[in-house]
Chains A and B, each alone.
Chain A
């Protein structure tokens, strides 16, 4: 495109036009602005303005106790909040050097993978909707609803989950949880199949998505891509495989890679990952052990309610874990823990100087690197292609601006 544009002959003198898309533009998910300089329909120079949704995540976490920080992680990637909860808690647990009992670990895996399905469904659906497939979008929202019903069942909220605690979970899942997940998995699968049939082989989408927003392997590495986007560029990098956390070692799944690194490959990778996530959920459900979900450590986990109501020791334990300045005492140290969130590597770098609050909590949001590269991806493309490119990186405002 750019080549043709450079080599054409000018008959009439033209002037570039500046076009600002956003901050509140229907195609800019969340709040972000794309400043494009246009020559006709071609973007000759693009830049992205971010920061409209800055809430001071890191400072807020530093001003609260370890467990209170979890509610702020809900608001990072709000479509798959449980994965953020898990990431933050894993980092703190690594500092504390504790390990979850198997049931807790399995439940974290199950809910992480279900969140990934919800996130990819949202991303794919929004992407195809913006290029005209409203029906596919509505079908996908139906499937996301099934997933969010499970999330609601596990934690009592759909978006702001606040599900994990340092050293465990909020509570064990209800007794009908496993059946409910098993019941909904085929429904979600049907919708994914339908989405696949509606979009993948349809030439209208193929022509829109192919060779648009291409990132080669080297570029993807240079720009710090992670997650589905780097896999679409052909690099099989997956935190779940390369630095395993929880018990992802024990599951059998495939890692999809694309060939071209364009929007179409990102779409394919996401579709395939949803299947793989459902496979992981099925394996985990089959192996789900019984037992406690939180560590049995009185310095970390709140005591059983029966103990609190019925015994003075339990009551004091409860008070000690909640009172200001007492709480969970995390030893001094620093840690980096990454999880494979829906958009890529979501890392938490935490410094503790001892005591009940973090000294520093830095979050590495996957969207940030992807959004930075948008500038490169949209330059030289048509203005209409900005929308699918933007949809394919799945920028989430909450996570990008923190």
Chain B
């Protein structure tokens, strides 16, 4: 399709040259915002309206809704019997562009399963949360679906080990996070 070229030109007329007029118009806009927002806040405070007045969130206490496709912290999924799904196939370690996954494969204690990771580390300091590992896993064993905005928190000790990634020995209650912060929007 033909793309037209449009020459932009803004000339100031007398009203713009007396700059008061434009300043008042600007004040009208900002004041309207102020009034509307204050009205919304009042209605919210009086519990007449459920939506809150501001578009911002009071962050540590309140979190914005996060889409369910969010790429958050890693998680190793488990089978119904509680065993790891991962078979130490090394696909995630291979594709990881930051080389932050480290797996030590070993023989599984379960006679029906051949191989499993004895150690599984994810170095979140190097990780860029690209999601390639989840995409590469042929077993849906690693996912990036734990919504945890403060991955570092107050400690720098964020090389996750196997137990932590499986959600066994976590001192951080990520499961609560997970349930609270998932939005309801479903893939149709």
Given A156-B131, A241-B3, A268-B10, A198-B29 contact (CB < 8 Å): yes
Cross-chain contact of A322 among B1, B16, B22, B94 (Cβ < 8 A): B94
Cross-chain contact of A302 among B3, B70, B135, B144 (Cβ < 8 A): B135
Contact B22 A175 (CB under 8 A): no
* Separation of A253 and B5 alpha carbons in the complex (Å): 9
* Inter-chain contacts of A201 with B (CB < 8 A): 10, 12, 16, 22
Contact A67 B132 (CB under 8 A): yes
How many pairs of A and B residues are in contact by the CB < 8 Å rule?
Answer: 140
* Inter-chain contacts of A251 with B (CB < 8 A): 1
Which B128-176 residues sit within 8 Å CB-CB of chain A?
A: 128-132, 135-136, 138-140, 144
* Inter-chain contacts of B185 with A (CB < 8 A): 174, 176
Instruction: Tell me the nearest residue of chain A to B98, going by C-beta.
Output: A71
Most buried by B among A65, A71, A201: A201
**Is A97 located at the chain interface by the 8 A CB criterion?**
no
**Is B188 located at the chain interface by the 8 A CB criterion?**
yes
**Is A258 located at the chain interface by the 8 A CB criterion?**
yes
**Is B61 located at the chain interface by the 8 A CB criterion?**
no
Given A175-B188, A204-B19, A162-B67 contact (CB < 8 Å): no
* Inter-chain contacts of A71 with B (CB < 8 A): 97, 128, 130, 132
Contact B97 A259 (CB under 8 A): no
Nearest 6 pairs of A and B residues by beta carbon? A175-B188, A203-B19, A156-B71, A68-B97, A156-B69, A236-B5
20 A-B pairs, CB-CB below 8 angstroms? Answer: A145-B55, A152-B66, A156-B131, A157-B70, A174-B188, A175-B187, A176-B188, A198-B26, A198-B30, A202-B23, A203-B16, A203-B17, A236-B5, A252-B1, A255-B4, A256-B5, A258-B7, A264-B10, A302-B136, A318-B138
Query: What is B's interface to A at a CB cutoff of 8 Å?
Result: 1, 3-10, 12, 16-17, 19, 22-23, 25-26, 29-30, 33, 55, 66-71, 89, 91, 94-95, 97, 128-132, 135-136, 138-140, 144, 185-188
